[in-house]
Amino acid sequence: MSLKIANVQLNNNLILAPMAGYGDVAFRTLCKDYGVGLTVTEMISVKGLLYQGKKTVEMLKLAPNETPSCVQLFGSEPDEFYKVIKECRELDTFDIIDINMGCPVPKVTKQGEGSALMKDPVRAGKIVEACKKATSRPVTAKFRLGWSENTSKEFTHVMQESGADMVTVHGRTTEQLYRGESNVEAVLSLKPLLNIPLTISGDINEHNLDRYKGADGLMIGRGAIGHADIFSVIRGGEKEEIYPLIKKHIKYMQEYFDNEHYIVANMRKHFAYYLKRAGVKGEDKNRVNLAPTLKDLFVVLDDIFKS
């Protein structure tokens, strides 16, 4: 299926979720290679952009194949969203502005940001309105079913009335974090209430797609870690061999990050998923995680995968 978000047309309805610590430009590039329709940056702090924090600005780096592109912003003050969209030139290259109203991590929600906004739908609506006032580009919102109970119908209404061009709903409450099963039925029940696209997230993989029929878009996060080829598989393609996938991922890391120590350390998070998928465990898994340099890492990986 294709998906159109206001005036932005995607090639298909598959979206890579914004994932803190995982969704950097290298991983997004990899997912685009395997046919994802839209990639979303890691969540970017509005305050960080206002103060032009170096690390925050660096997270806005885009790959040549990220077309169209989407940036996800988080914060709690409508006027700050307005100001950063108007004044931060680094945001000009993005085709879509997404607002994070679903992050359940306490260090975010304690600041009234992320999914804490679901407890204040008036403020959440004003943020969408401020973003729409600041730009003619599509503005979308990602949120959960609610804080402790399902309040998604009321919140979805506020989002649509405030001008959101698409909503993405994760089928868990904030208090659930990522525990239990995603409530797909509750998310799909929102579809008749909307005249804008509904994208669903939570527990999607290539084996359970029938559960999500009725949604306009599918946003995949954890299911893509170590499995960037999931987007190709869903679209009828073949699975990639795991070692070529790893090598391509590392190649992109080298292209975008000029720091070998950072690359090796960052890849360890992804190796937890790659190695599990490959059935690599025990001493071999330890050898991968203890490799101090890229040269050492490839020696270990060659030994594991070529044997």
**Residue 292 phi/psi, 5° resolution?**
-85, -25
Is there a contact between 91 and 119 (Cβ–Cβ < 8 Å)? no
Q: Which two tokens stand for residue 291?
A: 């490799």
Amino acid at 28: R
Active site residue: 31, 70, 103, 131, which one?
103
Told to judge if 103 belongs to the known catalytic residues of this protein, a careful annotator would answer: yes
- Looking at residue 154, the DSSP 8-state letter turns out to be H
Rounded to a whole number of angstroms, the CA Rg of the chain reads 19
| Residue 180 Cα to chain centre, angstroms | 20
The count of other CB atoms within 10 Å of the CB of residue 93 is: 11
Query: Rounded CA gap, 74 and 47, in Å?
Result: 9
Please tell me whether residue 71 adopts helix, strand or coil conformation.
strand
CB 278 within 8 A of CB 245: no
The helix/strand/coil state of 99 is: strand
Residues annotated as catalytic are 103
